[in-house]
Structure 1
């Protein structure tokens, strides 16, 4: 029996960056916040640099102090969306990481 939750095992067992990218896009944000140390460790071990960039941007957005409009600052939102686009391309199989 593993010490990590089944949803995190899915990331640990992902065969490639495409599967890891899909996992990052589909996992509940609450899991990203709750298990961020384990997720970062798994992404690092896999050498998934674009995944780490997206993950870091998502954590920053989720942790940011929000303005009166209820949104994170523009710089954080833009960084998150830029990273998300890269992950979406990888998840679709349209590009290899770093290219």
Structure 2
């Protein structure tokens, strides 16, 4: 038994980057905010650089000051979407940096 929450243990137990990417895409965003230190540590230990970039983009977007339209700045949203597209490709088993 570890001190990690079960949802974080799923990431820790992921077999490869595709499984990690699927976890990142499906986990509630509140978990990414709440457990960002643990998630960052696990992605770093796995050498999942794209996952780290995606996590940083999500945290940045979720933490950004929003404009009058209720949205984060265009650059923040575009960075988030670019990172998400990359993670979606990996989740489908596409191109990965440093495959396991």
Where does structure 1 lack aligned partners over 5 or more consecutive residues?
none
Pairwise CA RMSD: 1.3
How far apart, CA to CA, are the structure 2 residues paired with 1:97 and 1:18?
11
Where does structure 2 lack aligned partners over 5 or more consecutive residues?
none
Aligned to 1:88: 88
Residue-by-residue CA offset, 1:72-96 (whole Å, 9 max, x unaligned): 0000000000000000000001222
How far apart, CA to CA, are the structure 1 residues paired with 2:43 and 2:61?
19
TM-score by length of 2: 0.95
- Residue correspondences, number: 99
- Write out the 4+ residue segments of structure 1 that deviate beyond 6 Å after TM superposition: none
TM-score by length of 1: 0.96
